A and B are shown apart, each in its own frame.
Chain A
Amino acid sequence: MSSETTEPDSEQQSAEGASKLEQVVIRIAGDSGDGMQLAGDQFTAEAAAFGNDLATQPNYPAEIRAPQGTLHGVSSFQIQIAEYDILTAGDRPDVLVAMNPAALKANIDDLPRGGTLIVNTDDFTKRNLAKVGYDSNPLESDALDEYQVHAIPMATLTIGAVESVGIGKKDAERSKNMFALGVLSWMYGRPISAIEQFLEQKFAKKPDIAKANMLALKAGWNYGETTESFATTYEVAPAKLPAGTYRQITGNTALAYGLVAAGRAAGMDVFLGTYPITPASDILHELSKLKQFGVVTFQAEDEIAGIGAAIGASYGGALGVTSTSGPGIALKSEAIGLAVITELPLIVVDVQRGGPSTGLPTKTEQADLLQAMFGRNGESPVAIVAPQSPADCFDAALEAARIAVTYRTPVMLLSDGAIANGSEPWSIPDVDSLPAIDPRFAAAPHDAEQAGTHLPYARDPETLARDWAVPGTAGLEHRIGGLEKANGTGDISYTHDNHELMTRVRGARIAGIEVPDLVVDDPGGAADILVLGWGSSYGPIGEAVRRVRRSGHTIARAHLRHLNPMPANLGEILARYRRVVVPEMNLGQLSMLLKARFDADIQPVTKVSGMAFRADELHEVLLAEFAGTLATTEFAKTPAAVAAVVTR
């Protein structure tokens, strides 16, 4: 996913008669109970096994089973597969599968003219149509004339196909997601044997259901092959990614694996104290399956207990981790402050979602950056690391652990809903070659002259990390806590000079964390505009930059992984460019930080719709920057919103 290659855009005919595509974006949409995510996952697994580069993005409602057939209840899964390295799950689908009128209505606007639309006609009943405000059936009018429509009675065909199994009609119909998957698999020439294996395993205890699903899958495949409704099949060749062994992985899984690898690299047991919250819970689920590596997962009574237990575990010498989303961070703030003043290692994972308050639990946003930076009482600095893609969550977790343990500090790991649930191929690293993390536990009193007196706040001159003695270490008994610590001894101290000193040192310790220099992608070095992003917008920014360059413009890009401290060369880089365009899924939080620190012409690009940036949208943004209209467009967004609500 990392190398920058350019790709041709044409469609060619292959020798076998299948049309060759460089890439395709498929979106399947249905009711949240229709098994859309499962069908999407299986198509993804096929594509991955085939060697395509891919990226996926699920989109599902916060309600587990929203009322059937309603717009609220629409769940969709988008995948982009390609024969070259891609950066996103794609902007708009080339193929849309709509299992009911609600899915059609919610998604059809994204399908470009001429796109392929596959519809389950059985659910287009008068009642279902009325539920989403269709006066007439769009399949029977000219409303969909500009698309290639394949109207298939999937439910009926599925029920017919699985009749021999002898299960009830309702159960039989449930397999229609597999029918749809069968049709797609045929269209893109994918073997279905792996899916059959998966179904056998998943429904091992319900052989009837397994059989029904397999029959439905085959029926879908056969439908594609035998009916004449599909003119062509398509072929997306394997991608030429860098050499390595790959698997498909989601951000939350990669993050969980990264934590386990970090524990191994540090020789510390991983302890996760957490409370379930969307979209972070999968980190708990994954880690709870990895106890063979000494991982303990503690599902606490609340967010505060989760972080409290993680701090307790860290105090005892484990790698303490807590995972949550924005609302949970709000609850954990006081405890993060305790880890700041006690200078204990702690990883705080924030899988960001739309806010404020409960906000948009299943939608993405990057609006917790300032909360991570400043959301505590007092001067309370923490390190912040943000992964840029699903697979990158592994490396980001390792990096967070390195910083936390080396510098004895809480580290915020700012993931978000888009990368947490999105997936992409991951070049699997060799665990033995991951760099070791050395906790350097204190074993003897720091100061030889004060033999017998441990100084818990004696510091390493390089890192400013304090001497960290864990309970059980003889002779180093000491007390730490939330009251201001006296320099060196860690005793309670209310003196003015000491507080001034300790506050500045806490800040200097974080500011002095060694982070890699920022790398700029500026081919030719002639650009005068820099696009600077952070976190999950890496993919769409990269894709947009490719397109801008293809259209002849010169532009530089860089992506921040370390938000606190920022790379030491950032100021020097910003100074090289006339304008710096900063896209983020918030109202300009990184822009604010940059403006406060650097004398650069920063142009924020803001989006808070709960959806990740699309590459075509950022492409437009960058073209607007070249045309000199971006500042005006961006500035107009909020007045337009205000105008829209002020109706009196």
Chain B
Amino acid sequence: MTSVISNDIDSGTRVGIDLGLSALADVPRADEPQKAKDFTSSQEVRWCPGCGDYVILATVRSMLPQLGLKRENIVFVSGIGCSSRFPYYLETYGVHSIHGRAPTIATGLAVTRPDLSVWVVTGDGDSLSIGGNHLIHALRRNVNMRILMFNNRIYGLTKGQYSPTSEVGKVTKSTPMGSIDAPFNTMSLAIGAEATFVGRALDSDRAGLTEVLLAAAQHRGSAFVEILQDCPIFNDGSFDALRKDGADSRLIHVRHGKAIVFGSDGELCVIRKGFGLAVAHTRDVDPADIVIHDAHTDDPEYAYALSRLSDQGLNYTVTGIVRQVARPTYDDAAREQVVRAKETTAGDLQQVLHGNNTWTIS
């Protein structure tokens, strides 16, 4: 019964989708310039003192005015967890939903409302444990939504159990002898699920985070953004290795079109090695061998190789926009089918109800 309608569907031509479109193409623009306080709701923010979520909230509030969208056309959807309180603190439309399911709600919304900028806020437990299935399928379908995954490598709201991104051996309330669960490499997971946009930033890196968020906002498709975030109560200093002395030689910040060189003096770089990539001392390699970052390459192998440089020990962590490619979105295609059906099929409901075989009794 299966028949392939067209094998050029990937090119976008068959489904009539302009791959050059911004995610914001159909979203009404604001009449006036906006400020961060325009996006600040009346709700008292109730995260713990010192929580990384505060700085993320501040960054998002100051990023949103830069998009210049009507406030009422922005929707934040979240799941359950500390980070999922996020929508309450933004003066936009918002849904604080149920554990792990935010991408599903965002999918229904994005498909039916192309005039909205849809954002999902989730955590490592919400999106990678209970909601893992929805995350990978949203990425696979490339639904037009931004998924901000706050990764603090711990369950905060339930008071300190290990999460699917916690390091092996981590001692928590539920793992007094150390965690025996192997963690996800989050970026590898997203790329493996066919994500078209993958980015990462540290909560405290306001400039880096803003750069990733602005690009994600405009990405037509599912944009996966991981934000490394500290939980001062249950996992304090989890990302200290990326913040304190020596962080320069651990953070591999990538920028499209630029050679991947890092360290306080650019003494480290990324080169090709075997089937993947490796970190090398810049002085030991021919400059021509240093990888030039290409976020736009369709082939996911490069992005995957890049993702593998990050590890649970935080010896190296890749940040920036790792992957940003165009692929038809599920919601555009779904709407296009409706348009095509309206063009090609009689829209007379009475006729459909009649079907082909009727009889009349008088």
Name A's B-contacting residues (CB within 8 A): 45, 48-51, 194, 238, 240-249, 257, 260-261, 264, 269, 271, 273, 290-296, 298, 300-302, 304-318, 320, 334-335, 337-338, 342, 428-432, 471-483, 491-492
Contacts and interface: CB of A to CB of B under 8 A. Distances in A.
B73 to A, nearest CB: 5
Contact of A313 (B88, B112, B137, B347): B112
Interface string B283-305: 00000000000000000000000
Contact of B111 (A309, A338, A342): A309
Contacts of B106: 312
B108 A243 contact: no
Contacts of B41: 479
Given A49-B359, A244-B360, A264 B97 contact: no
B71 A308 contact: no
Contacts of A309: 104-105, 107-108, 111
A641 B115 CA distance: 60
Contact of A428 (B73, B109, B337, B353): B353
B91 A313 contact: no
Interface in B170-218: none
Contact of A245 (B99, B111, B354): B354
Given A240-B361, A334-B99, 4 more contacts: A245-B360, A298-B107, A472-B115, A482-B80
Contacts of A479: 41, 43, 87-88, 93-96
B6 interface: no
8 contacts: A49-B359, A260-B349, A260-B352, A291-B337, A312-B110, A313-B112, A316-B113, A477-B91
Contacts of B345: 291-292
B353 A269 contact: no
A298 B73 contact: no
B334 A296 contact: yes
Contacts of B116: 316, 471-472
A271 B108 contact: yes
Interface hub of A51, A238, A245, A473 (most chain B Cβ within 10 A): A245
Contacts of A306: 104
Interface string B64-108: 000000111101011010000001100111111111010111111
A431 B353 contact: yes
A296 B98 contact: no
A309 B338 CA distance: 17
Contacts of B80: 482
Given A290-B352, A428-B358, A479-B87, A315 B134 contact: no
B308 to A, nearest CB: 26
Contact of B338 (A194, A295, A472, A491): A295
A581 B341 CA distance: 50
Q: Which 7 pairs, one residue from A and one from B, show the smallest C-beta to C-beta distance?
A: A308-B104, A481-B96, A312-B108, A309-B108, A291-B341, A312-B105, A313-B108
B7 interface: no
A472 B92 CA distance: 10
B108 A273 contact: yes
Contact of A305 (B88, B134, B340): B134
Given A241-B361, A305-B137, A298 B111 contact: yes
B109 A308 contact: no
Contact of A257 (B88, B110, B115, B352): B352
B104 A245 contact: no
Given A312-B107, A335-B101, A429 B115 contact: no
Contact of A471 (B72, B334, B342, B352): B72
B93 A471 contact: yes
Contact of A51 (B43, B72, B359): B359
A486 to B, nearest CB: 11
B355 interface: yes
Given A301-B137, A315-B95, A479-B41, A48 B105 contact: no
Contacts of A246: 358-361
A338 B361 contact: no
B349 to A, nearest CB: 5
B133 A430 contact: no
Nearest to B117: A471
A241 B358 CA distance: 14
Contact of A481 (B71, B72, B95, B355): B95
Nearest to B130: A304
B108 A308 contact: yes
Given A298-B108, A308-B97, A338-B97, A431 B361 contact: no
A474 B70 contact: yes
Given A310-B108, A334-B98, A338-B98, A429 B353 contact: yes
Contacts of A312: 77, 95, 104-110, 112
A431 B352 CA distance: 11
Contacts of B97: 308, 311, 338, 481-482
- Of residues A242, A312, A320, A342, which shows the largest number of chain B Cβ atoms within 10 Å of its Cβ? A312
B357 interface: yes
B346 interface: yes
A247 B358 contact: yes
Contacts of B354: 245, 247, 428
A242 B134 contact: no
Given A264-B349, A316-B116, A308 B134 contact: yes
A408 to B, nearest CB: 15
Nearest to B111: A296
Interface centre among B91, B109, B337 (most CB of A within 10 A): B109
Contact of B105 (A245, A311, A432): A311
A296 B112 contact: yes
B85 to A, nearest CB: 8
Nearest to B362: A243
B353 A474 contact: no
Nearest to B136: A301
Interface in B197-242: none
B359 A298 contact: no
> Could you say which of A240, A257, A304 has the most chain B C-beta atoms within 10 Å of its C-beta?
A304
A315 B96 contact: no
Contacts of B77: 312
Contacts of A472: 28, 70, 72-73, 113, 115-116
A290 B338 CA distance: 9
B350 interface: yes
A268 B112 CA distance: 11
Nearest to A254: B353
A615 B219 CA distance: 61
A334 to B, nearest CB: 5
A248 B97 CA distance: 42
A244 B133 CA distance: 49
Nearest to A394: B353
Contacts of A310: 108
A295 B347 CA distance: 11
A572 B338 CA distance: 49
A478 B107 CA distance: 20
A311 B98 CA distance: 11
Contacts of A292: 338, 341-342, 344-347
A342 B77 CA distance: 13
Contacts of A473: 72
Given A245-B360, A305-B107, A471 B98 contact: no
Contact of A49 (B109, B337, B347, B357): B357
A294 B338 contact: yes
Interface string B1-21: 000000000000000000000
A482 B96 contact: yes
A527 B105 CA distance: 52
A244 B353 CA distance: 13
B132 to A, nearest CB: 11
Contacts of A304: 101, 104, 134
Contact of B104 (A305, A316, A318, A342): A305
A350 B316 CA distance: 51
